[in-house]
Amino acid sequence: MFLTIGKTTDTDQQETVIIELQGELQSRVEGGLDGKFIGNLVFTNENKPIMIIGHHILHGKIANLEKPLAVIRKSKQAVMDSESCKDNMLQNYYDVTSIIKRKIIFSDLPKPIIASVPKTL
């Protein structure tokens, strides 16, 4: 089996990273978390990541991966057969969309965000 691998050329300099969480994310609605809003990821002035999910806050750190990972997208591409130029075949083609070199690790347990409530009403 032959794999054809190419690289997409994007002009923007965005970086893809892995977010590593401890525990499990659960959704209140059916259908899983695909394409759903999970939380806010912000960085402090010291470049420390903070994630807010619902009423919980997580403090993390950025680490380099030991070995980079490639994110690939599978697609089909028409290929001409070399022996008979009239036959077109579809061949699997893989585009490398990005290389992951770093990850954001949230290793501590989430802390609840509690608003200050006045004692007298």
Residue 101 lies in a domain: yes
Residue 67 lies in a domain: yes
Residue 116 lies in a domain: no
54-106 pLDDT per residue, tens: 889 999 999 999 999 998 888 877 666 565 555 567 778 888 888 999 999 99
CA atoms in the 13 A half-sphere facing the CB of 83: 0
CA distance 51 to 35: 18
CA distances to 4, 19, 72, 117 from 76, in Å: 10, 30, 13, 58
Residue 121 lies in a domain: no
Residue 50 lies in a domain: yes
Residue 79 lies in a domain: yes
Domain that holds residue 78: 4-24+39-111
How many distinct structural domains can be found in the chain? 1
Residue 30 lies in a domain: no
Q: pTM above 0.85?
A: no
